[in-house]
């Protein structure tokens, strides 16, 4: 359950939480064309709050709008400002931000060129997405019977609302079967990503992750972790990965704004490595947390102070 806060930003104004409602004829509610983001703000070791990679998330929001032919009335700067304002208005030192652009009411049917594109930013408190235990000891995963969308079926590089039915179905299937998370293959059978995370494997000290031409979201945490890994002197290769490479990996981990760096200790009832969190995963997880909330100030360009 999301704890109620004070204010939500809707159509360029901060309004009371209870008043942030939309009409039942909101087009995106019926047809799923809408853009959204998930961003974290952390209270850092120095006591200051910083939003992590706000610019990049808002760029991706507008990229999704471009791909989905949505035309928000607000600018990137206004959306960024709104994210800061929502945290301040709710006295939040940490939190998860959800900016979105969606098609409002007006006409119904598939083609509605004159319906307004509405924008909102809401924030809530969110701890470890898969739980603290998951961050510490890793999770059990299952390859989904659902494939990731083919690149010409939907928009792999868009964080578009309706596409998440695919994630919800895969996640439910994994949970109902007693696992923590799903891993989706693409329609050619190669490893794609989790229901809301990018995936990495480690084999003989080298890190591999699916390349950007595959059906994956271009994760901002993915890029962060690749940058940090290279800074640590590690080799990262973007390439196709097969299911058996995944099963035989020394280490597997997920990345995502919500999931942060979550170790995977089991895939399809096969222990990954010795079934414990591996050293490279641990090293990158520690570096990630030092950068987002610790005292590692090596990437000031990633931080927006609130």
Q: Annotated catalytic sites, by residue? A: 159
**Binding span for ligand PLP by CB under 6 A among 15-23, 137-145, 190-198, 281-289:** 190-198
193 binds ligand PLP (CB under 6 A): yes
**Choice from 103, 120, 217, 261 touching ligand PLP (CB under 6 A):** 217
**Binding span for ligand PLP by CB under 6 A among 44-52, 66-74, 217-225, 281-289:** 217-225
Q: Least distance to ligand PLP from the beta carbon of 40, Å?
A: 9
Q: Least distance to ligand PLP from the beta carbon of 160, Å?
A: 10
Give the number of other Cβ atoms within 10 Å of residue 191's Cβ.
25
Q: From start to end of the chain, where are the E strands?
A: 7-10, 13-16, 34-36, 39-43, 49-52, 95-103, 117-124, 139-143, 181-185, 191-194, 198-203, 206-209, 236-238, 251-256, 260-267, 270-271, 303-305
Expressed in percent and rounded to 5, the helix, strand and coil fractions of the chain are: 30, 25, 40
CA of 180: how far to CAs of 77, 116, 174, in Å?
37, 39, 7
Q: Are 221 and 253 in contact (CB under 8 A)?
A: no
95 binds ligand PLP (CB under 6 A): no
| Nearer to ligand PLP among residue 115 and residue 167 (C-beta) | 167
222 binds ligand PLP (CB under 6 A): yes
**Choice from 34, 256, 263, 278 touching ligand PLP (CB under 6 A):** 256
| Half-sphere exposure (Cβ direction) of 168: Cα atoms closer than 13 Å | 5
Q: Least distance to ligand PLP from the beta carbon of 67, Å?
A: 15
Residues in contact with ligand PLP, total (CB under 6 A)? Answer: 15
**Binding span for ligand PLP by CB under 6 A among 99-107, 112-120, 214-222, 266-274:** 214-222
Helix axes 54-67, 76-89, angle to 10 degrees: 130
| Nearer to ligand PLP among residue 27 and residue 60 (C-beta) | 60
Beta strands 139-143 and 260-267 are: parallel
Distance CA 25, CA 28 (A): 9
**Choice from 94, 105, 181, 197 touching ligand PLP (CB under 6 A):** 197
221 binds ligand PLP (CB under 6 A): yes
| Nearer to ligand PLP among residue 157 and residue 276 (C-beta) | 157
| Closest of 231, 223, 218 to residue 283, by C-alpha | 231
| Nearer to ligand PLP among residue 260 and residue 266 (C-beta) | 260
Q: Are 39 and 83 in contact (CB under 8 A)?
A: yes
In the shown chain, the binding pattern of residues 261 to 300 toward ligand PLP, with x for contact by CB under 6 A and - for none, equals ----------------------------------------
196 binds ligand PLP (CB under 6 A): yes
198 binds ligand PLP (CB under 6 A): yes
Distance CA 80, CA 123 (A): 13
Please, what is the end-to-end C-alpha distance for the chain in angstroms? Answer: 26
**Choice from 220, 249, 277, 306 touching ligand PLP (CB under 6 A):** 220
Give me the residues that bind ligand PLP (CB under 6 A), please: 38, 159, 167, 193, 196-198, 217, 219-222, 255-257
């Amino acid at each position: 359950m999301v704890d109620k806060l004070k204010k939500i930003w809707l159509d360029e104004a901060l309004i009371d939480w209870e008043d942030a409602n939309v009409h039942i004829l909101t087009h995106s509610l019926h047809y799923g064309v809408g853009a959204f983001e998930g961003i974290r703000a952390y209270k850092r070791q120095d006591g200051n709050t910083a939003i992590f990679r706000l610019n990049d998330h808002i760029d991706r929001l507008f990229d999704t709008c471009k791909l989905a032919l949505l035309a928000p009335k607000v600018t990137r700067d206004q959306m960024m400002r709104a994210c800061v304002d929502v945290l301040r208005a709710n006295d939040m030192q940490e939190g998860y931000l959800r900016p979105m652009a969606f098609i409002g009411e007006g006409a119904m049917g598939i083609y509605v060129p004159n319906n307004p594109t509405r924008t909102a930013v809401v924030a809530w408190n969110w701890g470890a997405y898969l739980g603290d235990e998951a961050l510490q000891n890793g999770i059990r995963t299952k390859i989904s019977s659902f494939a990731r969308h083919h690149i010409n079926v939907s928009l792999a590089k868009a964080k578009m609302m309706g596409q998440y039915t695919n994630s919800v179905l895969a996640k439910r299937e994994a949970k109902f079967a007693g696992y923590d998370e799903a891993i989706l293959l693409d329609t050619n059978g190669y490893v794609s990503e989790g229901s809301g995370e990018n995936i990495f494997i480690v084999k003989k000290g080298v890190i591999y992750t699916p390349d950007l031409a595959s059906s994956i979201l271009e994760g901002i945490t993915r890029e962060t972790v690749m940058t940090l890994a290279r800074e640590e002197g590690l080799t990262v290769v973007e390439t196709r990965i097969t299911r058996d490479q995944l099963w035989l990996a020394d280490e597997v981990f997920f990345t995502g704004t919500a999931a942060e760096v979550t170790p995977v200790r089991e895939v399809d009832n096969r222990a990954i490595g010795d079934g414990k969190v591996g050293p490279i995963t641990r090293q990158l997880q520690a570096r990630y947390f030092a950068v987002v909330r610790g005292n590692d100030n090596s990437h000031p360009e990633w931080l927006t102070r609130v």
